[in-house]
Amino acid sequence: MDSLFNYMNTVKLAPLLLIFVEVAKRRSFSAAAKQLGLSKSAVSQQIKRLEDATGQQLLVRNTRGVVITAVGEALLARSERLSEQMSLALSELESVKEQPSGKFKVSVPPFFENNIVIPAISQLCLEFPLIQPEIIITGRWQDLIQQNLDVAIFGGNLKECNYRALSIGKTAERFCASPRYLQEHLQEHGPLVCIEDLSSHKFIATPWQNTELDLFDTTQNRQRLYNIEHSAKTNTLATVREMVLNHMGIALCPEFLVQADLRAERLVQVLPTVTGRAWHFYFIHQYIGEKPIHIRRFYQLICYHYNKVHLGSVGDGNSHETW
């Protein structure tokens, strides 16, 4: 009986969650009402019903619009997938096109395949069993037409092109080391408290890092260049991570690469007020109008798994198309 009650309660709350997603995304009751074809008062009443049902305040009105509470942000992160799934289901019902089939060729940056692309591809193949994925791992810019690609995932500054770019997310570089390495070097070199202390430690360089690092100091709110000699260097992110995990030194790594290790305390962040290069990841495709359903779904899945890895929680998948 309890399970039946919970099921019925969930069914009743589903429409309220969809309304909440619109308000939270647009930060406006009026804009959400217009999108939903409802009156502003009706939308406000449904949000009140949802807050009463959950016993939590989800939204706060102020003179600038709508502010989402911390609880509301957590609910939005999960509810937006419900909205996406429903939209996708309706699109599938309305579509008279054949199931996507054949080769689905994607290029992705090194290490992006772990926990992001492979889970996304796996789910995509379950939903569209006739596609045949082919994954190319490369850190170089890939031209979709020349390389016969359906999608290219790229990190860095975009080139001028006639393709469409959807934002996946941004990440910064963080200084990381293993607890054992820091403990072994504490007595000899003392604690790491400022950038200048790096000179007395072993620094492991990533493929794009040379002796001059472009850093941002949040305590001083300024960019600065710092020269450091590296004790080791490698040409793959996977190897950088393994070297740091094996106590060989300190590295400046993209956040998504080490988030799981930081949470598991296999690595610790040093110099937390200093960040390195900022990375912006894009989902590149060539469709000017409506994207094929499997392309849209793949983008949703990539955003979901990227945010899950990067933030430790489900992401919202919001994006904007740009040239």
| Residue 45 sits in the same domain as residue 87 | yes
Residue 67 belongs to domain with CATH number: 1.10.10.10
| Residue 164 sits in the same domain as residue 278 | yes
Summarize pLDDT for 105-132 with one digit per residue, the tens: 999 988 788 789 999 999 999 999 999 9
Residue 173 belongs to domain with CATH number: 3.40.190.290
Domain count, the chain: 2
Integer Cα distance of 198 and 227 in angstroms: 10
C-beta of residue 252 within 8 angstroms of C-beta of residue 274: no
| Residue 122 sits in the same domain as residue 271 | yes
The mean pLDDT of the chain is 82
| Residue 175 sits in the same domain as residue 58 | no
pLDDT, average across residues 256-273 = 88
Domain boundary among 51, 71, 94: 94
| Residue 112 sits in the same domain as residue 170 | yes
| Residue 41 sits in the same domain as residue 186 | no
| Residue 116 sits in the same domain as residue 254 | yes
pLDDT at 261 over 50: yes
Closest CA to 233 of 253, 212, 217, 209: 209
Q: Which residue range(s) make up the domain with 29?
A: 2-94
| Residue 225 sits in the same domain as residue 295 | yes
pLDDT band at 285 (very low <50, low <70, confident <90, very high): very high
Summarize pLDDT for 84-103 with one digit per residue, the tens: 777 776 666 655 456 888 99
Check residue 90 and give its pLDDT. 65
Decide which of 78 and 90 is more confident: 78
Decide which of 9 and 182 is more confident: 182
Q: What is the pTM of this model?
A: 0.60
Check residue 311 and give its pLDDT. 66
| Residue 256 sits in the same domain as residue 161 | yes
Domain boundary among 28, 59, 94: 94
Domain boundary among 57, 73, 94: 94
Which of 93-97, 241-245, 251-255 shows the lowest mean pLDDT across its residues?
Answer: 93-97
**What is the pairing mode between strands 212-217 and 203-205?**
unpaired
| Residue 149 sits in the same domain as residue 26 | no
| Residue 44 sits in the same domain as residue 90 | yes
pLDDT band at 5 (very low <50, low <70, confident <90, very high): very low
Task: Output the CA–CA distances (angstroms, integers) from residue 252 to 11, 200, 277, in the order listed.
Answer: 47, 16, 9
23's enclosing H/E stretch is: helix 2-26
